[in-house]
Amino acid sequence: MKSRLIICHHCSERNCVRRHGKARSGLQRYFCSNCKRTFQINYIYQGHEGKILRQVESMYDEGKTRAEICRNLGVNPVVVDRYLYLISMESDAY
């Protein structure tokens, strides 16, 4: 099975990273055997969902409210909440 090469967020090592279960948020966690640290990758950042997430993120940055984001994107508040949560998780990781 061929999998995408994951780069460690901490040391940028490519070949020492393996899957390390899932976080409660549903994000895939990874463990780097080079620097012995774990990190998460948001797998929804690809494709269609990733596009929506970026839209949510930019609207949120513009100061739009959750309700406005829901209306603009035609998604329900639960979805927006999930994206906002993922965005906050991602910014914590850096």
Q: Which residues bind Zn ion (CB under 5 A)?
A: 8, 10-11, 13, 32, 34-35
Q: Say how far apart CA 49 and CA 51 lie, in whole Å.
A: 5
C-beta closer to Zn ion: residue 12 or 65: 12
C-beta closer to Zn ion: residue 9 or 82: 9
CB of 19 to Zn ion, least distance (A): 14
C-beta closer to Zn ion: residue 18 or 48: 18
Q: Which tokens is 43 given? A: 């797998």
Looking up tokens 């999930």 gives 82
Kindly list the distances between the CA atom of residue 77 and the CA atoms of 45, 57, 58, 85, 86, in Å, as whole numbers in the listed order. 19, 14, 16, 12, 14
CB of 20 to Zn ion, least distance (A): 12
Tell me which DSSP letter residue 7 carries. Answer: P
CB of 49 to Zn ion, least distance (A): 27
